[in-house]
Structure 1
Amino acid sequence: MDPEHVSKDLKAVLLSEEEIQAKVHELAATVERDYAGRDLLLVGVLKGAVMVMADFARALTRHAEMDWVAYSSYGSGTQSSGVVRILKDLDTDITGRHVLIVEDIIDTGLTLSWLVANLRSRGPASVEICTLLRKPEAVKMAVSVKYVGFDIPDEFVVGYGLDHAEAYRNLRCVGTLAPHVYSEVE
C-alpha cells in the first residue's frame, strides 16, 4: 500500500520505501562481513519484523536459516505494557549457534531485553540484534544493539510491518500515525 492511500491517517512519512530498502541492503552487507565463515540463524520477531526479515534475508548473498518468535507487550494500544507474553517460541535448537535477532523497532527495550536473556539461556554461540528502527528517547531498559538502521523520534509509527490495531502493516513506507487515528481506538 502506498502512503497516498492512507494520507489522512498519517501525520508524516518518516522513511520512504527507497530509504528503507537502501538501509536494509546496507545492514545485510555489514552482517555478511561480520559473519563470514560462520553459520547464521536469523530469528524474526513476529509480526512486525516480517517485512524487514524477508527483505533482509533476500539481500544476503549467503545461506542463512530463519526461525520466528512471537512475544507481545502491546495489546492494541500505542504504549508497551512491559508485560511479556510468549505467543510462539523457536522451532530450532540454538545451542552453539550464532543467532541474529531481526526486529522492526526497538522502543522501550523491555520486551527485547527479556527475549535476549531468554535466548542466551539456551546456550548459543552468540546473540546479536539487528533492528530497522530504534527510538533512543523511549528506552527504559538498555539493550545492546549491534545493527541499527535508523534512530527515529519517540512517536507512534506505522508501515513496513509496524501496525496499529493490525492495520497499516503493508504500507511501503514508515510514517507517524496521526493522533486522531489512535485516539479513536483507545
Structure 2
Amino acid sequence: MDASVIKNDLEKVLLTKEEIQDKIKELAAQIDADYKGKDLLVVGVLKGAVMVMADLLRAMESHITMDWMAVSSYGSGTQSSGVVRILKDLDTDLMGRDVLIVEDIIDSGLTLSWMKANFESRGPASVEICTLLRKPDAAKSDLDVKYVGFDIPNEFVVGFGLDFAEKYRNLDCIGTLAPHVYQ
C-alpha cells in the first residue's frame, strides 16, 4: 500500500520505500558475503518480519533454508509481561546449523535475547540477528545485533510489517501514525 492512500493516518514518513529497499539490498549483500559457502538457515519472527524477510531473501544470491517462529512477550495491553511464550516453534533442527534470525524491529531487545539464548541451547554452529529497525534508546538488553538496517528514535512506527491493531503492515514505507488514529 502506498502512503498516499492513507496520508491522513500518517503524521510523517520516517523511511521511504526506496530507502528501505536500498538498505535491504545492502544487508543482503553483506549476509551473502559473510555466509558464502555455508548452509544458512534464516528464521523470520512472525508476523512483523514477513515483509523484511521476503525482500531480504529475494535480494540474496545464496541458497538458504527458511523457517518461521512466533513468540509473544505481551500479556494484556502493550506492556511486556516478561514471560516469553512460543506460539509457533521451528520445524527445523538447529544442530550444527548457521542461523540468522530476521526481525522487523528491536525495541527493548528482551524477547530477542530470550530467542537467541533458546536457539543457542539447541546446538547451532552460530546464531546471528538481522533487523531492519532498532531503537537504541529503548534497549533494555545488551543484545549483539550483527546486521542493522536503521537506528530510529523511540517512536511507535508502522508499515513494512509493523502494525497498529493489525493494520498498516502492508504499507510500503515506515511512518508514525497521526494521533487521531490511536486516541
TM over 0.5: yes
Aligned residues: 183
Determine the structure 2 residue equivalent to 1:45.
Answer: 45
- Under a length normalisation based on structure 1, what TM-score does the superposition of the two structures give? 0.94
Q: Deviations along 1:64-123, whole A, 9 cap, x unmatched? A: 000000012246855544332211000000100000000000001011011001000000
In structure 2, stretches of 5+ residues that fail to align are none
Map of 1:157-172 to 2, 5 A cutoff? 157-172=157-172
Matched, 1:146 2:146: yes
Displacement of 1:141: 1.4
Determine the structure 2 residue equivalent to 1:117.
Answer: 117
Matched, 1:179 2:179: yes
Map of 1:1-186 to 2, 5 A cutoff? 1-74=1-74, 77-183=77-183
**Contact residue 11 and residue 176 of structure 2 kept, 8 A:** yes
SS state at 1:73 partner: strand
Percent sequence identity over matched residues?
73
Query: How large is the RMSD of aligned CA atoms in angstroms?
Result: 1.4
Q: Distance in 1 between matches of 2:168 and 2:151?
A: 20
- Under a length normalisation based on structure 2, what TM-score does the superposition of the two structures give? 0.95
Q: Distance in 2 between matches of 1:177 and 1:82?
A: 27
Provide closer, same or farther for how the CA distance between residues 157 and 62 of structure 1 changes in structure 2, counting only shifts above 3 A. same
Q: Distance in 2 between matches of 1:121 and 1:101?
A: 15
Q: In structure 1, give the amino acid aligned to 2:167.
A: A
SS state at 1:23 partner: helix
Provide closer, same or farther for how the CA distance between residues 139 and 175 of structure 1 changes in structure 2, counting only shifts above 3 A. same
SS state at 1:71 partner: strand
Q: In structure 2, give the amino acid aligned to 1:168.
A: Y
In structure 1, stretches of 5+ residues that fail to align are none
